[in-house]
With several copies, the nearest count.
Chain A
Amino acid sequence: MASPTVELKLTAKDFKSDQEVRWCPGCGDYSILAAMQRFMPELGIPRENIVFVSGIGCSSRFPYYMNTYGMHSIHGRAPAIATGLSVSRPDLSVWVVTGDGDALSIGGNHLIHALRRNVNLKILLFNNRIYGLTKGQYSPTSELGKITKSTPAGSADSPFNPISLALGAEATFVARTIDSDAKHLQSVMRAAAEHQGSAFVEIYQNCNIFNDGAFELIKDPSSRDDHLIRLEQGQPITFGAEKQFSVTHPAGSFGLKVEEGGEALVHDATVDDPAYAFALSRLSGSDLGTTPIGVFRNVQRPSYDELITKQLVDAKSQADGTADEMLDALLNKADTWTIM
């Protein structure tokens, strides 16, 4: 974000809008909102320079609750709208809030294009593996065979792995976090905000009405230690109550393995080749067996905004007169003739 970091004395409360929050009681969205409102002051950006753009879905109501600028747009199109805003206003900090249906079903194309372009957007995908707002149909992240209102005999399509998809789309920053862990949420928001270019963050979010407990395995204190892997830059990837499990990279293999006591790989999100992050993303499918959270990939590549801005600045430096003068010159730049 290009905004100057000014000294501001903002608190979480400053980021609460006057709108009554209307998610179902118990919805995971509440904790994400709270984490965001707590994180925002850290950004050091005046509220008026922050914009939240969302699509449609329960998650997409998010902007109403942030006392910043915001647009609750239409289903799936937030990345496109935010791209136009971000490119034309590099002084703003633009955040996209979206759901698994909004981002990966109807909006899949805009998402992958924003990522390959590396538009300076912070994209938060609230993944509850269900369509909340339309009351419980399966989504592109629902498990194969899932029984929902629209699939009484079980769904027949394998889900996306959002992290793999983002990596396949050339994303420069890819992370995952979870609604129930406020500290982790904020740490990932922080890393995303610091990244120049597109930051894609998948947030596991519980929809207690239509898909309750989807992430229990990695939330429940009795199971989470054995299933949740916290990625930390420069640290060996281990997990388990006693850190007894290691994520290892067997020789000759391209994938990763989980072993008790093996030699743990040291996490480095900054390696240029996305093959490593991709391998990490395959550690868990929809079963959540061994689920990494944290920053998978964080590399630098010029953002679309930067490159476009540079072209504009270069061109403008060739301006040779007032706008009106240049316009007159442009209109006359052709074979002309004069009638007296």
Chain B
Amino acid sequence: MSVSAGAKRVEQLDRVVIRFAGDSGDGMQLTGDRFTSETAQLGNDISTLPNFPAEIRAPAGTLPGVSSFQVHFADYDILTPGDSPHVLVAMNPAALKANLSDLPAGADIIVNTDEFTKRNLAKVGYAVSPLEDGSLAEYAVHPVALTSMTVGALAELGVAKKDAERAKNMFALGLLSWMYSRPFSSTLRFLESKFAKRPDLVAANKAAFQAGWNFGETTEDFAVRYEIKPARMKPGTYRNITGNQALALGLVAASVRSKLPLFLGAYPITPASDILHELSKHKKFGITTMQAEDEIAAIGAALGASYGGALGVTTTSGPGVALKGETISLAIALELPLVIVDVQRAGPSTGMPTKTEQADLNMALYGRHGEAPLAVIAPKSPSDCFHAAIEAARIALKYRTPVILLSDNYVANGSEPWLLPSSDELPDISVEFTTGANGDDGRFLPYLRDPETMARPWAIPGTPGLEHRIGGLEKADKTGDISYDPANHEHMVRTRAARIEAIEVPELEVEDADEHARVLVLGWGSTYGPIGAACRALRQRGLPIAQAHLRHMAPLPANLGEVLAAYDKVVIPEMNLGQLAHVIRAKYLVDAVPFNQVSGLPFTAATLENMLEDVVKNG
């Protein structure tokens, strides 16, 4: 494939947000993915956000059928996929209609005019084509006959018309790649491997890509090409990664670094299923994945595996955790390691399975009968899911406790560049099984605790001499025998709480560039990106603000009280109705102000910037 060097004007930009939008069948996720990959090769910083329709294949051309992928790339480090796209690629009227309201005035819109037929317009309620009624006047609209030009370009290849039409996304990708001067060799490689069994499709898609590139090069409509310099990033090898991928790889790493076989019990559920899919590919690490009959069986099997000495993990989303409560409570009584991953989605009930939310924090902290404390942590970005998974496993293994890891749809499906760690930089999280008696009289005491970690011994079946029985009834301290003694129960309840409180977690760090901020914004989990972007924007405007982000929700970092006390005002933005704020207020009696959005969408940086500006200025 040859692509001419081009002679158009080249402009430098520092950042761009592009949204590819089309029908579910138009391949927008793949297009976005490829563009991201090309962009990554260039060394830009990147953040992406896919947006899937809820239906598998909603009727073609309808609003619910629209699928989109947004990519934000820049010559500096960025924190979010961008609030509003500079460029919208709209493959049909539905895609235009569904996304238009997110565009700022002046944005570029590239539309596939071939799809703007009467019928398609009618499907989404356009009486007149918006391309013709002047309603898009404030945008820079680029009408492109994407489908027919693709078909035309492939005429000589002799591929079926349907296949030719399908390649139109590669035409679009070619055009955008040209516009933003992306290197495309990885895309060509990708096409070769994706269609390895269909050389005709390899050729067709490559040709479509080139046609798109050439179209940019030649047509008048695109007068400028843009360049975005590489971002200054820490040296090292990077890959682009989604949160779910990172989480799965983090679990593989946890297995490797704990030297324990990983057992995943899972039941498919959006948006957590991909972790199961990914882990099921890595059997050579000794990883067993079991698709159980339901969420209760999934966690049950994971707990059984933990009992047998594996790193037991279960992955699900909110409705699944709601079912697992009784078994989590058992795991707490048994004091066995267990990692429970909740990739949160919008609730209650079935809610909006493909949308994001942080509303399972309460359930993670409190969603079980009795006093049933456990550790809770949350990753702050897609790549952080990797490290959070290892941290969850570390705590579970070292302290013999279930740990809930609260990811969410936003980090799970969003992506960013990830500086690859090498395995030897990862913590050694291995622990020892107990192999000998620990009682004075040569007896084995399954609930005699390690004085440092308060963990009980992990004596797995197969260990001679340590035969013992455990269960969900209250256990006598040390011996683990069934006990109804009131003083013992009081002791055990308080001990279970104390041992979670005693888990060592890193101190909370505060980003307070100028060190004279009076307002602290405190977040947790996936809001890190937009909060960070908002703070940065405020600081650039000379408004001082401090940011702290919680990774550990239980136990909370020891210095949190101190941190909170150092500021006049604490604001807590959350994608729920104020669940962390509630905890902070109760524990520290600080009049923390909740700022909540529960729309199924992540915060935009602008929303937070406005809100924080108001707080900083008006207190």
| A residues neighboring B (CB under 8 Å) | 17, 19-25, 46-51, 53, 56, 58, 63-64, 66-77, 80-89, 91-92, 105-106, 108-110, 113, 131-135, 137-138, 140, 149-153, 155, 209, 308, 311-312, 314-316, 318-319, 323-328, 330-332, 334-340
Contacts and interface: CB of A to CB of B under 8 A. Distances in A.
A46 B292 CA distance: 30
Given A48-B464, A140-B293, A150-B268, A328 B56 contact: no
Nearest to A334: B239
B301 A87 contact: yes
Interface of B: 37, 40-41, 43, 55-60, 62, 64, 186, 230, 233-241, 249, 252-253, 256, 259, 261, 263, 265-270, 273, 276-277, 280-286, 288-298, 300-310, 312, 319, 326-327, 330, 334, 349-350, 420-424, 461-473, 481-482
Nearest to A67: B467
B99 to A, nearest CB: 20
Interface of B is mostly: mixed
A315 B288 CA distance: 11
Contacts of A328: 422-423
17 contacts: A22-B58, A48-B467, A71-B469, A71-B471, A77-B296, A84-B303, A84-B312, A105-B293, A135-B56, A137-B273, A149-B273, A149-B277, A318-B284, A323-B285, A325-B423, A335-B37, A335-B41
A336 to B, nearest CB: 5
A87 B286 CA distance: 12
A82 B55 CA distance: 25
Contact of B239 (A73, A89, A135, A336): A336
Contacts of A108: 293
A106 B267 contact: yes
Given A113-B293, A308-B288, A74 B472 contact: yes
A150 B277 CA distance: 5
A319 B285 CA distance: 8
A110 B265 CA distance: 14
Contacts of B424: 324
Contacts of B59: 20-22, 25
A311 B287 CA distance: 10
A105 B323 CA distance: 14
Contact of B319 (A20, A74, A132): A74
A80 B300 contact: yes
B471 A326 contact: no
A203 B341 CA distance: 35
Contact of A88 (B60, B261, B276): B261
A69 B467 contact: yes
A268 B350 CA distance: 43
For the complex of A and B, the 10 pairs showing the least CB-CB separation, nearest first, are A72-B471, A84-B301, A84-B304, A80-B300, A315-B283, A24-B57, A85-B304, A80-B297, A106-B294, A70-B469
Given A81-B301, A137-B276, A339-B238, 20 more contacts: A17-B469, A56-B472, A58-B56, A64-B469, A70-B468, A72-B472, A74-B349, A81-B304, A87-B288, A105-B293, A108-B293, A109-B294, A134-B273, A149-B277, A150-B280, A316-B286, A323-B285, A328-B422, A331-B423, A332-B420
Contacts of B470: 70-72
Nearest to B330: A74
A106 B482 CA distance: 24
In this complex, the member of A20, A22, A25 whose beta carbon has the largest number of chain B beta carbons within 10 angstroms is: A22
A120 to B, nearest CB: 13
Contact of A337 (B40, B249, B297): B40
Contacts of B238: 336-339
Contacts of B280: 149-153
B462 A49 contact: yes
Contact of A312 (B239, B268, B286, B307): B286
A317 B462 CA distance: 25
Nearest to B36: A335
Contacts of B308: 84-85, 88-89, 92
Given A149-B277, A150-B268, A332-B239, A110 B468 contact: no
